[in-house]
A and B are shown apart, each in its own frame.
Chain A
């Protein structure tokens, strides 16, 4: 009797588990010819009114698209961009992937390993996508192992935003387009005032990708590379890498560098906005956080006069997942519409985001962009200083994590810049030697 009861319960459990597993993801191809798509994005609607622009812009473009294609319905679902890779990993395990997902460029090598990801290599050759109109940095990041797996969704880059008032108070000339790191170090030192808690420059020190990509821009400008040319060994512990890290370490030792251990918490932004920071290295997304400051924007400094002032770009992508041919076809139709120059211009003017295609900068309406978003025009021009991209390999996140930890160790003075970078390189080489996983 007892055994029968147990057996019945187990059967019940298995039955319930089997039924529970077959729920759909919401998107579908209905028999009446309507295709329902699920689109994951990290934008939130207002309120607050100041933060809903991207959501409203995308929603507007989707509404326009639906008017042109009444049989394609797109549902926007919020997924925090920082966790989009984790969410899609879990969704793929259950076969519940969205049709289109917003993914950071650094996620691409991981995403590329999913059999469900749609290879766009042939599709982007159609003239409507204007593939060569995207910057080289964007195209590189959308491509993994020779396959194009994403359509650029957002592009940005790093430049120096400085407090004009603090510069004027200390009788410093505002930085020019040919400035150098030694000039930045001198300016930062002049502005620093420990008694008033004013620092020359802030640097993210949580060891995350935020730390690493700022360092990478400096590494490249100093003439260094992350990996050797064949990608088999770490190369950042070169004299160029040491030069970049030593500069930061010396600024930290001179107390003119504010180490921000929680860059996600927005502390540096509020400190800059309250006049406690002379300079902040950041992207166009941050400009709206500085309403209280009279700020200027300048491209990254070079290490020697006449340098190339390289910056780093962090393009994000729209990635398409396979949920059957009808839904893939509809997803591609939408993405093609989304990246039309006229729509990109509309989006840039509504949000302050840089246009992902260069030809948008030549459209007559683009002049309004820098007027509406002071400083954003410089970030748009700065896209031309993006000469390299981070390597699109599955081991990159782990290499970046090791490099981030060691950069912070060096900044805190726990290890010399050379020793810290050597240690990170040793870890990176062990990850490169073993296949990812």
Chain B
């Protein structure tokens, strides 16, 4: 009662000082640079492209509002359908191959062998290489007429294969190249998780008579669950947004063999001047990625064992 009256009669300067001294304000001030950047480069484009998806615009001339016509047109666009198919095929191959490959490599590198640090570094090097450097390197290696790979295959009587230049092989060549490029990331995550497995559990299992396979099946794999879930979710998001490699290597070709969703929407917005339609595709992709992630997290919650 007295305290309340005292508070009410307190001069305004006290209140301002209280605001200035509060933890909230300094907290927000620290967070401001990050919040500002996320706002400008994340939230604003998100809202802006949402508006674009209901417009007919080439980003240069004044836009026209056309309601949901862009979304309707998607249903009758054969190139969009092809792009979606290619993105799904790519994701369905890239995610399991890179995650399983990462697990296998991490287990191989999680032993006390001579030069293990060198091997671990070597596996991670492709991750830090720039995409364009990797792309140019693979372009020359896999060239159908003058590439080293076809030359070596020719020595053992195989090929020549078209790789990026063949309509049937281009998408798989990109899968191969990107798995090579991202494997190191999966390996690092799995290595960290492997080293977090408590030795006491391993010892207890050994005392109970567990062999290599049983140990892997019943101890290692369940404890790697959280890492696996993270990698699957993260790789799926990345795979559905495949763009750089296609842009540098194949430009969607040969023909339409490597048209994927993000490359298609890029070419629509920035080559063909159809930005509204491209924004609609971007939103469909956003919803698709969000739904897939939610499903993966829902399934993950049922399967993944969290130790603590």
Contact = CB atoms under 8 A, between A and B. Distances in A.
Interface of A: 1-2, 4-6, 8-9, 12-13, 16-17, 20, 85-86, 89, 92-93, 110-111, 113-115, 197, 205-208, 258-259, 261-262, 265, 267, 394, 397-398, 401, 405-406, 408-409, 412, 414, 435-437
Contacts of A17: 36, 39-40
Nearest to A262: B139
B273 A436 contact: yes
Interface stretch (B52-60, B96-104, B214-222, B231-239): B52-60
B132 to A, nearest CB: 11
A2 B255 CA distance: 57
B244 to A, nearest CB: 15
Given A1-B22, A9-B28, A401-B267, A394 B255 contact: no
Interface in B249-268: 249-256, 267-268
Contacts of A394: 58, 273
B69 to A, nearest CB: 9
Interface in B140-179: 143, 145-146, 164-165, 167
B19 interface: yes
Contacts of A261: 164-165, 250, 253-254
Contacts of A206: 250-251, 253
Given A13-B32, A86-B270, A437-B276, A5 B146 contact: no
Given A206-B251, A401-B272, A4 B19 contact: yes
Given A5-B28, A408-B253, A437 B271 contact: no
Given A436-B273, A437-B64, 10 more contacts: A1-B19, A8-B25, A13-B32, A17-B39, A110-B273, A207-B252, A405-B253, A408-B254, A409-B254, A437-B275
Contacts of B254: 205, 207, 261, 408-409, 412
23 contacts: A5-B24, A5-B25, A12-B32, A20-B40, A86-B270, A92-B59, A113-B61, A205-B254, A206-B250, A207-B254, A208-B251, A261-B254, A265-B136, A265-B139, A401-B271, A405-B252, A409-B167, A409-B254, A437-B55, A437-B56, A437-B57, A437-B274, A437-B276
Nearest to B270: A86
A40 to B, nearest CB: 16
Contacts of B294: none
Contacts of B32: 9, 12-13
B42 interface: no
A412 B255 contact: yes
A435 B251 contact: no
Contacts of A435: 56
Nearest to A5: B24
A437 B253 contact: no
B167 A414 contact: yes
A114 B28 CA distance: 41
A281 to B, nearest CB: 19
Given A1-B24, A437-B274, A412 B164 contact: no
Contacts of B275: 437
Contacts of A4: 19, 24
A1 B21 CA distance: 11
Contacts of B56: 435, 437
Interface string B47-85: 000000001111111111000000000000000000000
A110 B143 CA distance: 36
A436 B58 contact: yes
Contacts of A114: 60-61
B35 interface: yes
Given A265-B136, A397-B271, A436-B273, A207 B255 contact: yes
Q: Which 10 A-B residue pairings sit nearest by Cβ, starting from the closest?
A: A113-B61, A437-B56, A5-B24, A398-B272, A409-B255, A9-B28, A261-B165, A114-B60, A113-B60, A408-B255
Nearest to B275: A437
Contacts of A113: 58, 60-61
Q: Which of B254, B268, B275 has the most chain A CB atoms closer than 10 A to its own CB? A: B254
A93 B253 contact: no
A13 B36 contact: yes
B59 A93 contact: yes
Contacts of B256: 405, 409
A401 B143 CA distance: 24
Contact of B167 (A5, A86, A412): A412
B253 A397 contact: no
Contacts of A16: 36
Contacts of A111: 60
A392 to B, nearest CB: 13
Contacts of B250: 206, 261
A13 B255 contact: no
A110 B252 contact: no
Nearest to A116: B60
B77 to A, nearest CB: 9
